[in-house]
Amino acid sequence: MCREIEGVLYDTATSTIDKKFTYGVPGDPCGYEETLYITNDGRYFVYTNGGTQSKYPVERIIPIAREDVKNWMLSH
C-alpha cells in the first residue's frame, strides 16, 4: 500500500517492518493487524488492516512520530 500524506510518500513495499501485532485468525471478521514500518529516510508509520467488523475495516497508513513509537509498542 502506498499513500502520500502531507507531501510525504509512505509505501509498505519499500519500507522495513519494525514490529507487527496480529489480533484474531485469518478470515476472522473481527481480526486485524497493526504493522509498524520505517521508511528509508527514517520516518515511522503504522499500516492497519482488518476484517469487516474490526476496528480497521479499511486499510490505512498512519504516520507516527519517532518519539511516540515506544508508547505505541507498549500499548500492545
pLDDT value, residue 24: 94
Vertex 2, ends 17 and 27: CA angle to 5°? 65
pLDDT digits (tens, 9 = 90+) for 1-48: 999 999 999 999 999 999 999 999 888 999 999 999 999 999 999 999
- Dump the DSSP string for 4-71: EETTEEEETTTSEEEEEEEES-TT-TT-EEEEEEE-TTS-EEEEEEE-TTSS-SS-EEEEE-GGGHHH
SS3 label, residue 72: helix
Single pTM value for the model: 0.92
pLDDT value, residue 17: 98
pLDDT value, residue 7: 95
pLDDT value, residue 26: 85
